[in-house]
């Protein structure tokens, strides 16, 4: 039996859950599909301090609060890995590894994932010292020395988080200025467990075949290379959009980010995109939530016009 909805939201992070709340409150039949647990990247975040209404809240707790809101007017949630979206007249068919769903509109809220550094040893030692999630893996490095790579919000915030359990954090950054928000920078500079290696790149992650033992750090001004012992390497060098299933629709830019207007509409009628997956600068829980509210409302208008 075909499963039919007014709107299917692909991705149940903060954007997707907000869109579900708005669309279901407008009496639409809504399904959120996600290949993992609802909450998205919030589940990998320790303290969230820039979501209004909460001075500080754990990412997974905020995810739970949002899920309770999102489903209170009947929005459904299901597991499913989406492999494609097909167009059939005004129908939008969402293909998953477990069958097809039909809807009149689709909201893409799949977010982004960590960019790989692309150096020798990264893949080999992934899960054996190389990590992209301090909240998930930090506890494995209790009282050890670890390396964080990057200079954005993620690198700096996760470095601070790691100091709760590790002995020392060395942040390796390719410039001598951080991109992270000032409040996080100041906190990191004050933290005695954190130091910074500026103008430097990690060019190799080394190990003893079982686990990471060191990184090779190259100063990009002097060219000098040094092998620095470390038990863990946390990589935060930005992110890439999760848009492979939507490539055929021609609604992404040359880097794969979704292109929309300010009503969250892509150039394909009935397909919207919100949150981190969208081509824009600021990637925040608050901006994803804002996008979700707009898309939830816009879907309602789109369906009214269709009928």
Q: Which residues are catalytic?
A: 133, 136-137
Helices (H), the chain: 14-25, 59-70, 134-137, 153-162, 182-190, 285-306
* CA angle centred on 164, ends 212 and 176, rounded to 5°: 70
Nearer to ligand NAP, 97 or 227 (CB): 227
Closest residue to ligand NAP in the complex (CB): 152
Please state, in angstroms and rounded to a whole number, the distance separating the CA atoms of residues 64 and 304. Answer: 31
Report, in Å, the least distance between residue 151 CB and ligand NAP.
Answer: 3
> Nearest approach, Cβ of 79 to ligand NAP (angstroms)?
25
**Under the rule (CB under 6 A), what is the footprint of ligand NAP?**
50, 117, 149-155, 157, 174-175, 179, 201, 236-239, 282-284
Cα separation, 32 vs 9, whole angstroms: 5
Which residue from 263, 141, 148 is spatially nearest to 205, judged by alpha carbons? Answer: 148
Contact by Cβ (8 Å): 223, 203: no
Spatial contact of 67 and 55, defined as CB atoms under 8 Å apart: no
3-state SS assignment for residue 223: coil
C-alpha angle with apex 198: 192 to 203, nearest 5 degrees? 115
169-182 b/e with 16+ CB inside 10 Å = b?
A: bbbbbbeeebebee
Pairing of strands 112-114, 239-241: antiparallel
Name the minimum Å distance from CB 23 to ligand NAP.
25
Taking the C-alpha atoms of residue 269 and residue 151, their distance in angstroms, rounded to an integer, is 39
> Would you give the end-to-end CA distance of the chain in angstroms?
24
């Amino acid at each position: 039996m075909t499963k039919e909805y007014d709107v299917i939201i692909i991705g149940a992070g903060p954007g997707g859950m907000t869109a579900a709340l708005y669309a279901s409150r407008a009496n639409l039949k809504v399904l959120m599909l996600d290949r993992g647990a609802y909450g998205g990247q919030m589940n990998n975040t320790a303290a969230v301090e820039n979501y209004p209404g909460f001075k500080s809240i754990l990412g997974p707790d905020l995810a739970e609060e949002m899920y309770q809101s999102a489903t209170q007017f009947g929005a459904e949630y299901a597991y499913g890995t989406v492999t494609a979206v097909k167009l059939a007249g005004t129908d939008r068919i969402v293909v998953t590894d477990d069958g097809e769903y039909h809807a009149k509109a689709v909201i893409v809220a799949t977010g982004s994932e960590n960019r790989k550094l692309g150096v020798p040893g990264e893949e080999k030692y992934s899960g054996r010292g190389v990590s992209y999630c301090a909240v998930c893996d930090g506890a494995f490095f209790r009282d050890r020395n670890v390396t964080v790579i990057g200079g954005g919000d993620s690198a700096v915030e996760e470095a601070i988080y790691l100091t709760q359990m590790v002995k020392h954090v060395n942040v390796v950054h390719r410039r001598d200025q951080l991109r992270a928000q000032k409040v996080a920078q100041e906190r990191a500079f004050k933290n005695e467990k954190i130091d910074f290696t500026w103008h430097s790149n990690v060019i190799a992650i080394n190990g003893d075949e079982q686990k990471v033992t060191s990184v090779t750090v190259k100063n990009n001004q002097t060219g000098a290379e040094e092998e620095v012992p470390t038990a863990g390497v946390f990589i935060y060098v930005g992110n890439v959009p999760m848009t492979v299933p939507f490539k055929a629709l021609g609604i992404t830019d040359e880097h794969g980010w979704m292109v929309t207007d300010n009503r969250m509409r892509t150039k394909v009628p009935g397909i919207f995109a919100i949150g981190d997956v969208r081509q824009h600068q600021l990637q925040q829980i608050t901006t994803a939530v804002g996008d979700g509210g707009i898309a939830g409302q816009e879907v309602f208008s789109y369906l009214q016009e269709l009928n």
